[in-house]
Chain A
Amino acid sequence: MIRLEGVSKVFKGDVTALREVSVEIQRGEFVFLVGPSGSGKSTFLRLLNREEVPDSGRLMVAGKDIGEMRSWKVPYLRREIGYVFQDYKLLSKKTVYENVAFGLEVIGRPRSVIRKQVPAILDLVGLGTKAERFPDELSGGEQQRVSIARAFVNRPLILMADEPTGNLDPSTSVGIMRLLDRINRTGTTVIMATHDRGIVDTMRRRVIELDRGVVVRDESRGVYE
């Protein structure tokens, strides 16, 4: 599904974000990316959906070479990758329903599909009754569920989450992790960058640890440290 072969990324001012990273992630895996701030976790994710381009090495996602990809093809890559953020990135003037529908509208899905899929996904994330609410009427956990719904409504092959529980209290975080686990069980590859020791230690999934851009540990059923 995802293969990095000696991938490096250097930012301006010789800041090395990733150095010679080689990792392979299979379809349907659940992977935690851990490591201190600035270790390259976010860069790792941003390379996968080609917000960044690798400086060297080869990066394959869903059978496509990301480094070689023409920019007009990038949107089609991103349709295969759902992306969830710490700050949710919801549109405050749209309702829950509209926020999720927006993700389908802008990739040209027909309205009949939208009408069918949005209520289904809202039920899946447990917000079926709050479709007409606006984001600022929801709790943080609920907002993150909306954001996950938007990322998953198009049934992507891969779901990436960058610190999805970073702004949430532990009990709310558990709910979010259950949701991500459930999504993973549908066969979706989930990659989650996190600082949350409790979650990593409880879930016991594959852990890839980065430190100053280098993979220092890669364990299946690992713990935070």
Chain B
Amino acid sequence: MYRLWYYLRETVLSIWRNLSLTLAAILTVAVSLALVGSSMMIREGAERATAQFQQGVEFVVFMNPDADTDQDAAIRHVLDSSPAIEGYTYIDKAAAYDEFETLFADKPELIESVTPDVMPPSYRIVPVDRSAGNVNELANQFAAQPGVREVATATEAIRQIDDFSTLVSQALLVAAVVLVAVSALLILNTVFTAIGARRQEIEVMKLVGASNWFIRIPFMLEGTIHGLIGAAMAIPVLFVVDNEVMAFFQESDAVPLFRGFAVPEGFVWDTSIWLLILGGAVGMIGSAVAVTRYLDV
């Protein structure tokens, strides 16, 4: 108990003595982790917005929920035998309902209004020739089949949105990785300075037989606290991204697909926890390097 108090006191004192460098370290952690978090959210949102059109799926044939087995078999026969079709996945009612549930986890009233029974089963189809003209032609053929409710195609726009969000999230991630490295170095430097400021004390501590970890812990705690405070400062940014930026896309009518551009309920909190872990880890690693290189205990 007393020891805990000692560690905290030493850590707080050291942060206070070294305030400007500490603030620089904390802010860099905050900015870099805000970017990491935003990148994770954009990636998640984009993935969900275009979930149906991944791995080469160019169009989706939705069946009527009450289509009979003959109609279903006919579609399946065409898919299996047509040389224009490379492959397909069948999503049955239950799977469709599961997906719906995940997609709209934050809108329980919407989920309550449907049951697996009314969900349309669908075929996600990968054609051999993926040019827009060919995809449209195939889509029209399937749309005319009995039992088919509608056919959705991956238009050029979807692909652009997908590419765009991938680009944005990757650019953010690259910037974030660089900044995370910078913040680790800044924390290393801050801790190094803190060690320098207490060189005399450390010498006496070694002399009277303070254990190695007793000497190390306040410094490692200091670095870890930098990381955690930085992460805590980045978390509000995630909520702004969720409530303002992503909401803006969801409400805009310009690109209908972006209405699905959302992260599920709890994703922001999960991301926040990851940021805290990451921040703490960056701080701990930065200070551990400083401690092992400069403390000599």
Q: A residues engaging B (CB < 8 A)?
A: 49, 71-72, 75-81, 83, 89, 91, 102-103, 105-108, 110-111, 150-151, 154
Contact = CB atoms under 8 A, between A and B. Distances in A.
Interface of B: 2-3, 6, 200-201, 203-212, 214-215
A111 B207 CA distance: 20
Contact of A107 (B200, B201, B203, B208): B208
B200 A75 contact: no
A106 B215 CA distance: 8
Contact of B212 (A75, A89, A91, A151): A75
A141 B292 CA distance: 37
Listed residue (B204, B205, B207) with the most chain A CB atoms within 10 angstroms of its CB: B207
Given A105-B6, A110-B2, A91 B201 contact: yes
A78 B208 contact: yes
A211 B3 CA distance: 46
Given A75-B209, A106-B210, A89 B2 contact: no
A172 to B, nearest CB: 23
23 contacts: A75-B211, A76-B209, A76-B211, A77-B209, A78-B206, A78-B207, A78-B209, A79-B208, A80-B209, A89-B207, A91-B201, A91-B204, A102-B208, A103-B204, A106-B215, A107-B208, A107-B209, A107-B210, A108-B3, A108-B214, A110-B2, A111-B2, A150-B204
A80 B209 CA distance: 8
Contacts of B2: 110-111
B201 A103 contact: no
A75 B210 contact: yes
Contacts of A76: 209, 211
A91 B3 contact: no
A150 B209 contact: no
Listed residue (A83, A106, A107) with the most chain B CB atoms within 10 angstroms of its CB: A106
A72 B206 CA distance: 12
Nearest to A85: B207
Contacts of B207: 49, 78, 83, 89
Contacts, number: 55
Contacts of B208: 78-79, 102-103, 106-107, 150-151, 154
Contacts of A83: 207
Nearest to B3: A108
Contacts of B214: 106-108
A154 B204 CA distance: 14
A-B residue pairs, 9 tightest by C-beta: A78-B209, A79-B209, A106-B210, A103-B208, A75-B209, A75-B211, A106-B205, A83-B207, A107-B209
Given A79-B209, A102-B208, 11 more contacts: A75-B211, A75-B212, A81-B209, A89-B204, A102-B201, A106-B208, A106-B214, A106-B215, A108-B211, A111-B2, A150-B208
Given A72-B212, A75-B212, A107-B209, A102 B204 contact: yes
Contacts of B215: 106
A162 B37 CA distance: 57
Contacts of A107: 208-211, 214
A89 B200 contact: yes
A166 B290 CA distance: 36
Contacts of B212: 71-72, 75
A76 B215 CA distance: 14
A66 to B, nearest CB: 14
A221 to B, nearest CB: 31
Contacts of A72: 211-212
Nearest to B207: A83
B200 A91 contact: yes
Contacts of A77: 209
Contacts of A78: 206-209
B295 to A, nearest CB: 13
A48 to B, nearest CB: 13
A71 B201 CA distance: 20
Nearest to A103: B208
A105 B7 CA distance: 11
A218 B128 CA distance: 97
Nearest to A108: B3
A105 B206 CA distance: 13
A78 B207 CA distance: 7
A154 B6 CA distance: 19
Contacts of B201: 91, 102
Nearest to A147: B204
Given A79-B209, A106-B208, A108-B214, A89 B203 contact: yes
A159 B214 CA distance: 23
B206 to A, nearest CB: 7
